[in-house]
Amino acid sequence: MFDRLETPSILVDMRKVRVNLKRMADDVLHSGCTLRPHVKTHKIPELARLAIAYGACGITVAKVSEAEVMADGGIRDIFIAYPLVGDFRIRRAGELSQRIRLILAVDSLAGAQAISAHAIRTGTVFEVRLEVDTGLKRTGISLEHAPGLAMSISMLPGLKLTGIFTFRGPILDGLPTADNEAAGRQEGRLLAGLAARLRADGLEILDVSGGSSPTGRHVAAVEGMTEVRPGTYIFNDFMQVIEKACDIEDCAASVLVTVVSTPESGYAVIDGGSKTFATDFPVNAPPYFFPGYAVSPDHPGLVLSRVNEEHGILTSASGNTGLAVGQRIRLIPTHICTTVNLHNDIWFIEDGMLRKVRVEARGMLV
């Protein structure tokens, strides 16, 4: 079936996609939480619609420009889970909020005041959630300062503070493998505890949102959580395998490549490097030990161990790759989200048919 496909190409097994979507939805909905998957992994409206068909309440994005593409693709309930800063973004969010349910994120008073000012000018009311840091140390106000900031935001005109959200706990500090259940429970308990505190302060906190692909099920099981936002689970990748969130058979997306050179038996070069495969993780270094940028599901021990821009160096645990020039193989990327982000189109395989699909929100950086 793939003989005539040009390489490198991303192949997506839609049967596995459906299994992944259903499994997460079943687990999360069973816990009484809503599921609002992050579309960062695929950036394709059709897959966002499919996730909703499998029970998601809406979607999560990181950028207002992604939200616009998804709204154009028929999605009616979008959370931009990222502090919305910059007048150019607030203006676009304001326009978008006229046609869909759009939830914005804030994590600072300055950010909230700028959104409020725009709301006043335009006679809009924005639904906002406060981002809280439960240990990842990137965006999000600290648990300590969250109550004060939430109270200040709740008093700003034009804003309706409806929820709080986070993304993961302090799980990356030197642990070789994560205990996803313990991490998810910790993340959930910290956030649900804060929600209870804010309600005691008189704030009406409706949405308490957390989670990720490895921890989402466990976050959802925590009393007081209302929503989880996993992303990678739709495709899965070798990072999820290493993080014990799935098995290699659950990886729905692979990259079909061609061997272009075999100068020595010890390595083979394929027609894709760092412009084809993601590189945004450390290889052979803590906290997780990823052996390379991709692995072969069909040739055990074969690893994409080095990349230049258009060169990928495959090595084998056996010392001999056994590959020949012109041979085609599939590789499971270590990180699928940023791999898809490098491709203009990807290929869906469904019912024995191949179909090319545009990665419509790729490159939407604003």
CA distance 126 to 132: 19
Q: Are the beta carbons of 75 and 52 closer than 8 angstroms?
A: yes
Q: Shortest Cβ distance from residue 9 to a second copy (Å)?
A: 8
354 binds a second copy (CB under 8 A): no
State which residue, 60 or 226, has the beta carbon closest to a second copy: 60
Site for a second copy in 153-192 (CB under 8 A): none
309 binds a second copy (CB under 8 A): yes
Q: Residues 152, 177, 308, 318: which binds a second copy (CB under 8 A)? A: 308
Which one of the spans 67-75, 78-86, 222-230, 347-355 is the region binding a second copy (CB under 8 A)? 78-86
Give the interface size with a second copy as a residue count (CB under 8 A).
63
Q: Shortest Cβ distance from residue 223 to a second copy (Å)?
A: 27
Site for a second copy in 84-143 (CB under 8 A): 85-86, 88-89, 107-108, 110-111, 114, 133, 137-142
Q: Shortest Cβ distance from residue 276 to a second copy (Å)?
A: 6
- From residue 116, give the alpha-carbon distance in Å to each of 83, 128, 279: 14, 10, 38
| Residue 96, φ and ψ in degrees, nearest 5 | -65, -35
Helices (H), the chain: 14-30, 45-53, 64-72, 87-96, 109-122, 146-154, 180-200, 216-220, 238-242, 336-340
- In sequence order, what E strands does the chain have? 9-13, 34-35, 59-61, 77-83, 101-106, 126-133, 141-142, 159-165, 207-210, 227-228, 253-264, 267-270, 294-295, 302-307, 312-316, 328-333, 345-350, 353-358
Other CB atoms within a 10 A radius of the CB of residue 344 amount to 10
307 binds a second copy (CB under 8 A): yes
Task: State both tokens at 220.
Answer: 């959802």
- Amino acid letter, 170: P
State which residue, 49 or 306, has the beta carbon closest to a second copy: 306
- Give the single-character DSSP code of 246: S
Q: Residues 326, 351, 352, 353: which binds a second copy (CB under 8 A)? A: 326
365 binds a second copy (CB under 8 A): yes
Q: In the complex, which residues of this chain contact a second copy (CB under 8 A)?
A: 4, 6-8, 40, 62-63, 82-83, 85-86, 88-89, 107-108, 110-111, 114, 133, 137-142, 258-263, 267, 269, 271-276, 278-280, 282, 285, 306-311, 313, 324-326, 337-338, 341-344, 363, 365-366
